[in-house]
Structure 1
Amino acid sequence: MDKKKSNSNVVKFNRWGYIFLIPFFVTYIVFSLIPLFSTIYNSFFENYRSGLKQIGPNFVGITNYINLLSSPEIWKYLVNTLIMWVGGFIPQITIALLLAYWFSDPSLRLKGQRFFKTVIYMPNLIMASAFSMLFFALFSDSGPVNQILLSLGFIKEPFKFFQYVIASRVLVMLMNFLMWFGNTTILLMAGMLGIDSSLYEAAQVDGATASQVFFKITMPILRPIFTYVLITSLIGGLQMFDVPQILTNGRGNPTDSLTTVIMLLNRYLTSKDVGRGGALSVFLFVVTGILSLVVFRMNSSKDKD
C-alpha cells in the first residue's frame, strides 16, 4: 500500500509539472512555431505590393529561392554580416576570458570585484539604438573625436569616419564588442567558478605554469559554456540589424558595406514583399542552423579527444 501511495504521489507531482509547462508551450506555439510555418508557406508564393496594386498571392514554387540565391547581393550582405560579427567577437571573447580568469582566480585577491563586475556589465543594459546614436554623435565630422584629433594636431581636417568602409565597419565592431563583452565575461566567470579548486592545487603541486593551467585545465572544462557563448553569439551576429541600421540610416553606406542580411529582410518587409522576405528568412534560418551545427560538432569532437 505504501508503494502504491508513493507512486500515486509521484504521478500527482508530475501532473503539476506538466501543468506549469503549458504556458511555455502555448507561448512557443503561438509566437514561434506558427509564424515559422507561416513564413515557410509564404516563401513559396509571389505576394507583394506594386504601388496601390496588390500582386498575388500566386504560387511560384521555389522561384523566390532561386532568385535569392542567384542574386549577388545576398552573398555580399552575408559576408558583410560575418565580417562585422567576427571582428567584434574576437576581441569580445579575448577580453572576456582574461577578465573572467582574473575575477575567478582567488590567488589574485582583487579588490572591488563587485564594482568592476557591475561596470563591465552596464553597457549590455544600454539599448543598441542609444549606443548607435552616441557613436554617430561622437564620430561625426564635427563630433568630439574629430575635435580632439584636430586640437592635438593629428589631422588637419575632420576625418569622415562614415565615408570609409574600414572605419565604419570598425565602429560597428567596436559597438558590438562594448555591448556584449560584459555579458560574455559573466557567463565564462560562472563556468570558471564551478571548476573544482583541487585541480588547480594539484597542478601547482606538479609545477604547472599559469598558461598550462589555463589551457590544460580551465579551457577543456569550460568548453561547454564556451560553445554556448560561441553559438549564441553567432546567432545574434547573423541577426545584426539595429546598430548598422541606425548608424547608416538604413542605407548601409558606404557602398553597401554595412548592409546586413536582416537589413535586406527589413527592406523586403517594408516594401510588402512577403514572398521574398519569407524566402530570405528561411535561408537565414538554414544558414544559422548549419553554422551552429558545425560549431557544435567541432567542439564535441574535441571533447571526445
Structure 2
Amino acid sequence: MNKKSKVVRYNKWGYIFLIPFTVIFLIFQLIPLVSTIYNSFFENYRSGLTQIGPNFVGLANYATIVTNGDLPTYFANTMIMWVLGFIPQIILSLLLGAWFTDPSLRLKGQTFFKTVIYLPNLIMASAFAMLFFTLFADSGPINSLLIQIGVFKEAFSFMDHAASVRGLVATMNCLMWFGNTTILLMAGMLGIDPSLFEAAQVDGATANQIFYKITLPLLRPILVFVMITSLIGGLQMFDVPQILTNGTGNPMRSSMTLIMYLNKHLYSKNFGLAGALSVFMFVITAILSLIVYKFTNVQEQK
C-alpha cells in the first residue's frame, strides 16, 4: 500500500511540471486558434473611417479566398522558394554532418567550425535581408564587382527579376538554417552504433555504400523531422521576402508568400478574410506534413 501511494506521489510531480506548458498552450495557441476560426465566419473590416461588421457571413470568406485566384499563386511562390532553399540546405548539411562525424578523418578544430556554421542561425532574418538588399542593389558591391570583371556591361537589377529575387530569398533561408540542420543530422549520426560501420568496412564496403546503405536509412527519423519542420517554417516564410521586397512581393508578386498575403489582410483590418486564410494555411500545413510523413513511412516499410 505504501509503495503504491509513493508511486502516485511521484507521478503527481509530472502533472505539476506540465501545468506551465498547458497554461501557455491554452492562452497563446489554443484560444487564438479557436478565435481565428470563429472570426473567419464573420464579415469584419474597415472601409475608410467606417467599420463594417462583424456580421455573420458563413463560408463567404472561404469562398472569396478560393475564387479570387490569389491563394494558388502565393502558395506556389512559397513552395518554390522553400524548395530552392531546402534542397541545397539538406545536401550541404548531410555532407558536413558526415564529414564532422567521421572518426577516420580526425578533423582538428571541429568545435570552432561547428560554431561558425551555426552562427548565421543566430542573426536576425531582418538584418540578413537588409544585408542582401544592400549587397545586390543596383549600385551595390555585387554589381560593381560583376561589372569590373566583365560579367555585365551595366548594373543588373536583381530586384526586378522573379528568378533572382526568389534565388536570393532561397539563398538566405539556406544560409540561415543549414547550421541548425547540420547539428540535428550530426546528433542522429552520432547515435548510430559504430560497430555497424566497422562491420561494413570489414566486409569491404566503400564509404559511399556505408553512407547510402547504413547512415541514410538509420537517419530517416531525423530526416523526416527536419523535412516536416522545414516545411512548416517554409510555409510561414515572411520576414526575409517582406524586407527584401519592401512588402510588395515584386516583381509581379512573384515573391509574395502566404504569410505576406495574410499580413496584408491584417494590415487592412480585414479580420474575416485573414481568419479564413489562416484556417486554409493550417489545413495546407497539416495535409503536406501528413503527406511527407506517410511517404517517408512507406519508403521505410519497403
Fold shared per TM-score above 0.5: yes
Query: Structure 1 CA distance, aligned partners of 2:168 and 2:279?
Result: 29
Residues 285-304 of structure 1 mapped to structure 2, 5 A cutoff: 285-304=282-301
Which position in structure 2 is the counterpart of 1:33?
A: 30
Residues 155-197 of structure 1 show CA distances to partners (whole Å, capped at 9, x for unaligned) of 1111110011111111111000000000000000000000000
Matched with 2:204 is 207
Q: Which amino acid aligns with 1:102?
A: W
Structure 1 residue 249, shift from structure 2 partner: 0.5
| Structure 1 counterpart of 2:160, one-letter code | Q
Q: CA deviation at 1:17?
A: 1.2
Q: Which amino acid aligns with 1:207?
A: G
For 1:138-177, list aligned pairs within 5 A: 138-177=135-174
| 2:220 matches 1:223 | yes
Matched, 1:196 2:190: no
| Structure 1: unaligned runs, 5 residues or longer | none
* Deviation for aligned residue 1:48: 0.5
- 1:78-97 alignment to 2 at 5 Å? 78-97=75-94
Aligned letter for 1:227? V
Q: Distance in 1 between matches of 2:74 and 2:299?
A: 32
- Residues in 2 aligned to 1:196 and 1:272: alpha-carbon distance in whole angstroms: 55
Q: Secondary structure at the match of 1:111?
A: coil
Structure 2 spans left out of the alignment, 5+ residues:
none
Q: Which residue of 2 aligns with 1:122?
A: 119
- SS of the counterpart of 1:262? helix
CA deviation map 1:92-111 (0-9, x unaligned): 00000000000011011111
CA RMSD of aligned residues (A): 0.7
Instruction: Kindly state the Cα deviation for residue 215 of structure 1 after the two structures are TM-superposed.
Output: 1.1
Task: State the Cα distance separating 1:303 from its structure 2 match.
Answer: 2.2
SS of 1:157's equivalent?
A: coil
TM-score in terms of structure 2 length: 0.99
Q: Which amino acid aligns with 1:56?
A: G
Distance in 1 between residues matched to 2:82 and 2:150, nearest whole Å: 33
Greater alpha carbon shift after TM alignment, 193-202 vs 5-14: 5-14
Q: What residue identity is the alignment partner of 2:74?
A: Y
Instruction: Name the CA distance, whole Å, in 1 between partners of 2:49 and 2:91.
Output: 52
**Structure 1: distance between partners of 2:7 and 2:297:** 35
Percent identity over the alignment? 66
For residues 285 and 209 of structure 1, the distance between their equivalents in structure 2, rounded to whole angstroms, comes to 44
Paired residue for 1:244, among 238, 241, 244?
241
Residue 62 (structure 1) aligns with = 59
2:43 aligned residue (41, 46, 56)? 46
Matched AA of 2:276:
A
How far the C-alpha of 1:153 sits from its partner, in A, is 2.1
Quote the residue 1:106 is aligned against: 103
Secondary structure of the residue aligned to 2:219 is: helix
Alignment size in residue pairs = 302
**Structure 1 letter corresponding to 2:32:** P
Amino acid at match of 1:146: N
Offset at residue 302 of structure 1 (A)? 2.0
